Chains A and B, each alone.
Chain A
Amino acid sequence: MTKTRRLFHEELQDLTHDVARLGALVRQAIEAGTAAFLAGDLRDAEAVIVGDRAIDQLAHSVESRVSDLLARQQPMAADLRLLLSALRISYAMERMGDNMVNVVKGTRRLYPYLLEPPIQDVISRMHEQAVAQLDVAITAFVERDVNRATALEDMDDAMDHLQHELFRLLFHTHATDDAAIQTAVQVGLLGRYFERIADLTVTIGERVRYMVTGEFPFEEG
């Protein structure tokens, strides 16, 4: 193999590494953001918003390196699929980060109210589910594991159930004061954000499958 080509393949490895690192940053944001939200801690919430810039920067760095490698190396086959997947996956991760920013912004809107324990419990489980799915997505990408990538679709059903459970709890609250309405709206939105984060892990799974097999699993859907 020529030196130029060897460097190219090293750059592909670096890129893979950085996509995984991006996933780790998003994972941290989900953990810290959920904790801040549940505790109603404005300072910790602010830290997650600031931390999102690092996620955006790394995602943009991945994008610009992909575009550079496409232009200079004219990658083919598995290399091409890796670059296209890295682009889409890093975008999905960046979107997860944005959804987490929306979650923590809800902390300000609810302040100083705290949520009822049953609702807190569902949110906590949604966060655990999101983290579990993200872990599987990152591992599937790094290990080029089609089975894990495919499993994400089934895992995502659990998140849908949690979202239904959350909505059920909201409708069982009969309070009609402003605080209760505001809480219901924020919690409803929050359910939506977690559901989006989980959806994005399914997208990552699809991209991993394309990266490994060269087949478009998302064509029918």
Chain B
Amino acid sequence: MTELPSIRVGPSRSPASGPQEDKLPSSEPSVSDPAEVEATHGPSVFRVENLFFYYGDHLALRDITLDIRPREITSLIGPSGCGKTTFIRCLNRLNDLIPGTRLEGRVEFDGESLYGPDVRAIELRRRIGMVFQKPNPFPKSIYENVALAPRMNRMKGNLDDVVEESLVRAALWDEVKDKLRASAFSLSGGQQQRLCIARAIAVRPEVILMDEPCSALDPVATFRIEELMEDLKNDYTIVIVTHNMQQAARVSDRTAFFTVDTSQGGRTGVMVEIGATSKIFTAPSDQRTEDYITGRFG
């Protein structure tokens, strides 16, 4: 089993905001009281505290603190280069594969440190699925694309059933049930993306991370994926990075707005606010969010 390379998880450093002890709770905009959130939503799936992320010397994300709640869709929006993709990749340690990267702060997944020494990559990737911008099916049959991971994970149960159930959940079954042995590449872009979602849910993850899952799709395929997300959130926690604000407004329960901060030299991603999607899109708390979502920025 692959060990993830060790990561230095240093004490949180807050050059931007000074010592955390001095901060009043209200100075963290829209980050609700954790106890209150837990009472209404159950424990957070992810709890990120004072996350700093570096590519070499470059600080890519500064002091990110947020919670991801269970069985909700959380969308991350913001201009290019604001670090939203980097951030979502911190949630399944995908950045570990990039040499020279470094993470400081704390990321908890189901109450355990995600960057702890005992965390194993394969187990982690089983529990946290990911769907990418471009559909990336394996060069294999439709069936094999879905069956591969459950087989590798030696999941119990009939593999045919797992494949069918996953394809049904991904709203693809009716379109492919008669050609399961056909190459995955024979499918349209939208179908391939739903196949990738079926592949992700075949191992019954707890979380599905989506990095601009619809940006390569036409509007009809996009709406199908959005419908699917709505359906999937009954069982899964979904975090989606999207460039499409209307998509974030349509599908997500909560929205986090990230932006690029240049005030300290360089271009660093910061989170401006996180809150209920209806609040963020009708009456955001921060002027930077307002300017971005009304198109007065950039």
| Bind each other | yes
A10 → B minimal CB distance (Å): 13
Question: Contacts A76-B245, A76-B249 given: A81-B294 contact, CB under 8 Å?
Answer: no
A76 touches B293 (CB 8 A): yes
**B295→A8 contact, CB < 8 A:** yes
Q: Does B283 lie at the interface of the complex (its beta carbon under 8 Å from any beta carbon of A)? A: yes
Q: In chain B between 116 and 158, which residues have their CB closer than 8 angstroms to a CB of chain A?
A: none
The reply to whether B283 and A5 form a contact with Cβ atoms under 8 Å apart is no
Q: B290 interface residue, CB < 8 Å from A? A: yes
Of the candidates A9, A74, A215, the one whose C-beta lies within 8 Å of that of B283 is A215
Q: Smallest Cβ distance from A25 to chain B, in angstroms? A: 29
B296 touches A (CB below 8 Å): yes
The bracket for how many chain B residues form the interface is 10 to 19
Q: Does B246 contact A (CB under 8 A)?
A: yes
Considering only residues 45-93 of chain A, those with a C-beta below 8 Å from chain B are: 74-81
- A98–B297 CA distance with the chains assembled, in angstroms: 42
Task: Mark B247-287 against chain A: 1 for CB-CB distance below 8 A, else 0.
Answer: 00100000000000000000000000000000001111000
Closest to A76 in B: B293
* Chain A residues in 8 Å Cβ range of B289: 77
A96, B27: Cα distance in complex, Å: 45
Question: Counting chain B CB atoms within 10 Å of each CB, which of A2, A8, A78, A80 scores highest?
Answer: A78
Q: Does B298 sit at the interface, judged by CB under 8 A?
A: yes
| Other-chain residue from A2, A8, A74 in contact with B246 (beta carbon distance below 8 A) | A74
Cα(A9)–Cα(B297), bound, Å: 13
Residues of A within 8 A of B245 (CB): 74, 76
- How far is the CB of A65 from the nearest CB of chain B, in Å? 18
A182 CB-CB contact with B under 8 Å: no
The answer to whether the Cβ of A214 comes within 8 Å of any Cβ in the partner chain is yes
* In the complex, chain A residues whose CB is within 8 Å of the CB of B283: 77, 81, 213-215
**A78 to B249, alpha carbons, bound, how many Å?**
15
Size class of the A contact interface (CB-based, 8 Å) = 10 to 19
B174 to chain A, nearest CB (A): 31
B-contact bits for A173-185, CB 8 A (1 contact / 0 none): 0000000000000
Cα–Cα distance between A69 and B283 once the two chains are bound (Å): 19
Contact B295–A78 (Cβ < 8 Å)? no
Separation of A79 and B295 alpha carbons in the complex (Å): 10
Chain A, residue nearest B285 (CB): A214
B275 CB to nearest chain A CB (Å): 12
The minimal Cβ–Cβ distance linking A150 to chain B, given in whole angstroms, is: 18
Q: CA A131 – CA B283 in complex, angstroms?
A: 32
For residue B289, which residue of chain A has the nearest CB? A77
Which A residue sits closest to B290, measured CB to CB? A77
CB of A77 within 8 A of CB of B295, answer no
Contact (Cβ within 8 A) B282 A79: no
Residues of B near A9 (CB, < 8 A) are: 295-296
Show the binding face of B for A, using Cβ within 8 Å: 245-246, 249, 281-284, 289-290, 293-298
Top 3 closest A-B pairs, CB basis?
A214-B283, A5-B295, A76-B293
- A9-B296, A76-B249, A77-B282 given; name 17 further pairs at CB < 8 Å: A1-B296, A2-B295, A5-B295, A5-B296, A8-B295, A76-B245, A76-B282, A76-B293, A76-B294, A77-B294, A78-B290, A80-B281, A80-B282, A81-B283, A213-B283, A214-B282, A214-B283
